[in-house]
Amino acid sequence: MTEESWHEARLIPTSGINGAEEQERRATSALLAVMTAVREFGRALTKPIGAPAGNVETYIEVPFILGEKKLFPDGLVRVSRGQKSWTALVEVKTGSNELVAEQLENYLDIAREQGFDAVLTISNEIPAIAGQHPTKVDKRKLRKVAMHHLSWTKVLTEAVMQKEFRGIADPDQAWILGELIRYLEHPRSGALEFDDMGETWVGTRNAIAAGTLRPTDNGVSEVANRFDALLRFASLRLGRQLGAEVTPVLARKELADPSLRTQSLIETLAHDGTLCGAIRIPDTVGELVVTADLRAGRLTCHVDVDAPKEGRQTTRVNWLVRQLKNAPPDLRVEAFVMHGRGAGAAELLKVVRDDPTVLVSDPAKDLRSFRVALSLPMGSKRGRGRGSFIDSLLAAVDTFYGEVIQHVKAWSAAPPRLRPEPDAAERQPDVPPALVSTSLSSQDGAEAVPTAAEDGAAEPLNEGINDEAEDAAEGEVTTGA
């Protein structure tokens, strides 16, 4: 037997998982144990939900009595610092299993009776908006006990970012966290990625194609929420690759009242047949906007880029084109002018490369910004795999970021330059040093300035400097670091 057929021993094996109960128990125990063993990872998960910085203790299947019932929450986390402690009950679901409201309300009652601080749920459900819980419970039970939720995608993202980008001080702990990452990435772990647009996706898509969709139709709100959940999954997935905190873009009002965001998506879906959202990536030139046109079957990703504030109009266009030298030629570039309304001049990148003037409709008007967009075919299936909407959107986001956004830098003005002091050898022999126009000590009227007739000069002495300044004003455009 060759070594290629040998299985490497693993700290958290995926073999021997039989049934949903075993899957949940193993995932819970593995996660909670690593939170205790790897201090940085435990802190990364517990800090956002209110735990202090301190020693992390974890337990599984802790028994409690509630009335006449004996209940076993999947886990318990306690963080202690000095005399202060923070405790949360943990409920875990794997695979396609969803959280149950009655079970969570029982755990909220237990937490209140025991003086615990929170109930933490972990499942494959991704809420449409960060901070929102996927399961609705009686709000009266949340008066003294907080309820938080983590998706397995979020847990995996935090693990990767902590190990690969933020760093682990102890090499052995880094190896332990790597074993958890390997386990969660295995399909048998039950920690699944976003894989379904919901039961009403096909019906909603068909109604849009027929032109019969109404905002009050059943299932429209589910499609809207699933789209926002997909954007959150795409953000976590991209952030895991970049080592950055990538987040969906939401207005303050939408964060305070998530129903406003859902209603906005429903209206645009019923009226235009489109779903639209944006992703914010740190240190990039702008937000990555994703628009799904269900009528046309196209996905469009675009980014808005501020134009340089100096230089001729074609110079500003060339500034952008130079940064897109490796971008796909079928990118659409649109230019907007100052104080202009409506659409601007638009053309494909391959045309703009040959003739930048196609984006300059009026040379007298300054260009304000550019919009760079990439349109791709959209999948229609509700699940994952070839021809699916989810995979086509994820591929579009990765492609647009990799081929466009990461190569474009925001414009910044060049710093002012000191005027050079002329060398003695460069001075004109008949002009006193104090009267050289580039000298910092020259003063008008200090001495009589010889006229052209007196010294034989045919042109002003500072003409070369004026030409240099004019060239700088017309063409000098730089990119920022």
Q: Answer yes or no: do 84 and 113 share one domain.
A: yes
| Mean pLDDT of the region 269-282 | 94
Q: Which tens digit of pLDDT belongs to each residue from 284-305?
A: 999 999 999 999 999 999 999 9
pLDDT digits 0-9 by tens, 321-350? 999 999 999 999 999 988 877 778 899 999
- The answer to whether residues 130 and 245 belong to one domain is no
Q: Residue 452: which pLDDT band, with cuts at 50, 70 and 90?
A: very low
Q: Does 293 map to a domain?
A: yes
Q: What per-residue confidence (pLDDT) applies to 370?
A: 95
Q: Are residues 108 and 162 in the same domain?
A: yes
Residue-wise pLDDT tens digits, 23-46: 999 999 999 999 999 999 999 999
Band (pLDDT 50/70/90 cuts) for residue 454 is very low
How far apart CA 97 and CA 75 sit, in angstroms, is 17
> Same domain for 180 and 232?
no
pLDDT range class, residue 432, cuts 50, 70, 90? low
Q: In this structure, is residue 448 part of a structural domain? A: no
Task: Please check whether residues 28 and 168 belong to one and the same domain.
Answer: yes
Q: Are residues 253 and 216 in the same domain?
A: yes
Query: Tens of pLDDT along 58-80?
Result: 999 999 999 889 999 999 999 99
Please give the single-letter amino acid code of residue 192: L
**pLDDT at 375 exceeding the cut of 80:** yes
460-465 — which CB contacts under 8 Å span 24+ positions?
A: 461/428, 461/431, 461/436, 461/437, 462/437, 462/438, 465/437, 465/438
The secondary structure of 161-209 as a DSSP string is HIIIII--SSHHHHHHHHHHHHHHHSGGGS-PPP----TTHHHHHHHHH
Inside any domain, residue 75? yes
Residue 177 lies in a domain: yes
**Are residues 144 and 248 located together in one domain of the fold?**
no
Lowest mean pLDDT among 151-160, 193-202, 339-348: 339-348
User: Of 377, 407, 437, at which residue does a domain stop?
Assistant: 407
Mean pLDDT score, 188-215: 90
Q: Return mean pLDDT, the chain.
A: 86
Q: Which structural domain, as residue segments, surrounds residue 93? A: 7-189
Is the per-residue pLDDT at 479 higher than 80?
no
Shared domain for 123 and 168, answered yes or no, is: yes
On whether residue 431 sits in a domain, the answer given is: no
Domain ends where: 141, 158, 189? 189
pLDDT value, residue 13: 84
Q: How far apart are the first and last CA of the chain?
A: 56
Residue 457 lies in a domain: no
Over residues 299-327, mean pLDDT: 93
| Residue bearing tokens 């992703």 | 279
Q: Using alpha carbons, list the distances in angstroms from residue 183 to 102, 186, 244, 283, 378.
A: 30, 5, 23, 32, 32
Identify the pLDDT of residue 408. Answer: 94
- Asked if residue 471 is part of any domain, the answer here is no
Q: Are residues 272 and 132 in the same domain?
A: no
> Do both 99 and 71 map to the same domain?
yes
- Percent of residues, the chain, with pLDDT higher than 90: 64
Is residue 438 in a domain?
no
Residue length of the chain:
481
Q: Quick one: 300 and 374 in the same domain?
A: yes
Q: Which residues contact 241 (CB under 8 A, 6 or more apart)?
A: none
Q: Encode pLDDT of 123-140 as tens digits.
A: 999 987 878 899 999 999
Cβ atoms of 79 and 52 within 8 Å: the answer is: yes
Looking at residue 385, its pLDDT comes to 87
- Indicate the number of domains in the chain: 2
**Of 360, 389, 407, which closes a domain?**
407
- Mark whether 54 and 74 lie in a shared domain: yes
Residue 362 corresponds to which amino acid?
D
Q: What pLDDT score was predicted for residue 424?
A: 59
Q: How confident is the model at residue 255 (pLDDT cuts 50, 70, 90)?
A: confident
